[in-house]
Amino acid sequence: MNSARTLTRRAMIKAGMLAGAVLPLAGLVASRAAAADLPDVDAADPTAKALGYVAKSAKPGLDCAGCAQFVGKAGDAYGGCKIFPGKRVAGTGWCSAYVKKPAA
């Protein structure tokens, strides 16, 4: 048996830890890319009406981009939303489900 080709337990653990760190990041990148292909939330949508969704927040500093439900970066013009699955919201929008993102 060639010792150069033997896989050690330490190497297996390192590979597992690396995969555990990379796979969630790959999913996050994929979900952001997929959000660009989603249709926008329509203000006439029953859920949007019930939550008072607007594409332009009237409340300074309270917008979708700063919400914990927003799937995207804080500066994104549009992104996915956990409240409106399968649709994207305006980063400048707001609804009553707003929850401020925790400080990083």
Q: Show the beta-strand stretches assigned E in the chain.
A: 70-71, 78-81, 88-90
Bridge partners for 88 per DSSP? 40, 80
Per-residue confidence in pLDDT tens, the chain, 104 aa: 455 667 788 877 877 777 666 556 555 544 454 556 789 998 888 999 999 999 999 988 899 999 999 988 777 899 999 999 999 999 999 999 999 988 75
Determine the residue type at 10: R
Total length of the chain: 104
Rounded alpha-carbon distances, angstroms, from residue 87 to 15, 27, 30: 36, 18, 15
Cβ-based neighbours of 31, under 8 Å, separated by 6 or more: 71, 80
pTM for the structure as a whole: 0.62
Residue 90: its pLDDT value, please?
A: 93
Residue 30: its pLDDT value, please?
A: 47
Fold of 3-90: High-Potential Iron-Sulfur Protein; Chain A (4.10.490)
> Are the C-beta atoms of residues 92 and 62 closer than 8 Å to each other?
no
Domain map (residue ranges) of the chain: 3-90
> How far is it, in rounded angstroms, from Cα 79 to Cα 71?
6
